[in-house]
Amino acid sequence: INDFGIEKTLKNLGISKENKGVCSGGKSFANGDLIESYSPTDGKLIAKVKSAASKDYDKVIETAKSAFAEFRMIPAPKRGELVRQFGNKLREKKDDLGKLVSYEMGKSLQEGLGEVQEMIDICDFAVGLSRQLHGFTMHSERPGHRMYEQYHPLGIVGIISAFNFPVAVWSWNNALSWICGNVTIWKPSEKTPLCGIACQNIISEVLKENNLPEGISNLIVGDHKIGDQLVNDKNIALVSFTGSTRVGRIVGTNVAQRFGKSILELGGNNAIIISKDADLDMSIIGAVFGAVGTAGQRCTSTRRLIIHESVYDEVKNRLVKAYGQLKIGNPLDEKNHVGPLIDQNAVQQYLDSIKKCKKEGGKFIVEGGILEGKNFESGCYVKPCIAEVKNSFEIVQHETFAPILYLIKYKKLEDAIAMQNDVPQGLSSAIMTQNLREAELFLSQAGSDCGIANVNIGTSGAEIGGAFGGEKETGGGRESGSDVWKYYMRRQTNTINYSTHLPLAQGIRFDL
Ligand code: NAD
């Protein structure tokens, strides 16, 4: 632990050896099971967290409800001021929080810091937005009448997040929720509970400094049981869920049953088409970073390369060479390109997928495997691998959250686009080409069916300014920039009659 000054980092973020995983209304408490957080980087226990029991959750709801009654009456630009101060506090804590993200989740330090930067960026975005929650005005068909639309806060927003972006996803949701006047309850992944506590400690400070109710931001650490309680609670107006398609299907169905709102950000199966007119230098960098960055544990990780037959062999040979140069090891050491998977369970899924791929006829041109021995004690380090496959293989249709890259050959661009679209998921996609016709076809309505479609950029990583999310089994939700804030508010149409008559719409007469 001492190797990376992590003890000091934990102290700076207010994390002890034993923590209470419910933080609400300025108090910490918890009566559920104990969760132990181990770092996948070195397999060491970082700290323990007592999780939320069902009765703890009930208390949190009461606190959140009363905070909402107060918070909704604060003008949106003033709520923006809260978010501005939160962004500033994140700037102060960036190094510590980035390091904790890297240590607890296992991504590179650069990516850990990048996640915190993303939190800061969305705060900046939300501050400006807090003065721009505009509705339309429209002309009434009735004389002496005025019509307009306005947006009101929803109430309590529940945020359930995945392990792989342990802090940024929370910020995407809460920065928008707060300027919109909502209060939030966050259930982070039980695999990264300390990141949750660290974030909550930061916002608690800001709320205290501003004398605002601390129930504006609440934390409940726990597993699927407490997640399920939140999902089925009619007090939660909007459930923003980020995670696997398997769990998202359950969450989406349960929220819909009670006519709640949901934002679903689920699994991806992202492809880059490398055309005959691609800049191959750029294509190789984009593909390798997309496939092995975060050890293939991004929802936007590149899983498939669909390569034109005329450049197939060259791309393949260059990939093999590039993979030969990859350094695998502790992600806090900036020399390494690839860190560990989150846990042994993820390693098993990686091994199972390789086995399945071979069984279906996949030919591995870079072999996978587990790394053992010194510096790999956690048992979570695996070799990024590459297989030549058919798009129709069952395993290729499935998102394996690990660095396994599939190569597929194509002749005609239309076939490449059809293959790119022929998977259940629809998150991110890209084409590498310098040919305008190809690029425009890919972006057209006959092109990629994904929520994100890029030209000459890989599939992985996105800026906060755009709406982020995907179609089909990725869930259809959108988070972050553009006009996504509208998901976090309820829309109301208002008609005001300032005349001395009461004319009915559509000219309907009702004489008494
Ligand atoms: P997961 O589905 O296992 O868990 C996600 C969260 O759901 C966790 O907090 C978990 O405790 C909770 N949960 C589990 N069962 C639940 C239930 N029945 N009710 C309510 N909550 C429940 O996912 P993971 O392994 O943590 O994350 C990886 C997955 O997330 C991948 O599929 C990845 O593609 C996806 N992801 C998607 C996006 C996106 O924006 N589309 C972003 C990040 C991750």
pLDDT in tens, 432-455: 999 999 999 999 999 999 999 999
Point out the ligand 1 atom lying closest to the alpha carbon of residue 265: 41
| Pocket perturbation via mutation, ligand 1, pick of 236, 242, 245 by most ligand atoms within 8 A of CB | 242
Residue whose pair of structure tokens reads 């639309």 in the numeric block: 149
ipTM, 2 dp: 0.98
Q: Which residues contact 299 (CB under 8 A, 6 or more apart)?
A: 162, 164, 242, 265, 266, 267, 268, 427, 428, 474
The average pLDDT across 310-326 equals 98
**pLDDT for position 96:** 97
Residue 508 burial class via C-beta count within 10 angstroms: exposed 0-12, middle 13-18, buried 19 and up: exposed
Query: Residue 2: is its pLDDT beyond 70?
Result: no
Q: Is residue 305 a contact partner of residue 278, using CB atoms and an 8 Å limit?
A: no
Q: Specify whether the CB–CB gap between 345 and 314 falls below 8 A.
A: no
Cα(204) to ligand 1 centroid in Å equals: 25
Q: Provide the mean pLDDT of the chain.
A: 97
C-alpha 120/C-alpha 331 separation (Å) is 22
Three-state DSSP class for residue 412: coil
Q: What is the pLDDT of residues 259-303, one digit of tens each?
A: 999 999 999 999 999 999 999 999 999 999 999 999 999 999 999
Which residues, other chains included, contact 265 with Cβ-Cβ below 8 Å and sequence gap of 6+?
169, 240, 241, 242, 243, 248, 299, 468, 469, 470, 474, 475, 477, 479
The DSSP bridge pattern shows strands 302-308 and 270-274 to be parallel
Residues annotated as part of the active site: 265
Q: Is the dihedral of CA 436, 441, 444, 447 positive or negative?
A: negative
Q: Which ligand 1 atom sits closest to the C-alpha of 250?
A: 18
Are the beta carbons of 393 and 352 closer than 8 angstroms?
no
* Atom number of ligand 1 nearest to Cα 399: 32
**Residue located via tokens 């088409």:** 273
DSSP 8-state secondary structure symbol assigned to residue 311: T
Output the ligand 1 site: residues, CB below 6 A: 160-165, 187, 189-190, 223-224, 227-228, 231, 242-244, 247, 250-251, 265-268, 299, 399, 401, 427, 474
Q: Ligand 1 pocket test: pick from 163, 240, 253 the residue with the most ligand atoms within 8 Å of its Cβ.
A: 163
Hey, what are 112's tokens? 């850990």
pTM to 2 decimal places: 0.97
Distance, in Å, from the CA atom of 203 to the CA atom of 281, rounded to the nearest integer, reads 43
Q: What is the pLDDT of residues 326-336, one digit of tens each?
A: 999 999 999 99
Would you place residue 3 in the very low, low, confident or very high pLDDT band (cuts 50, 70, 90)?
low
What is the pLDDT averaged over residues 188-197? 98
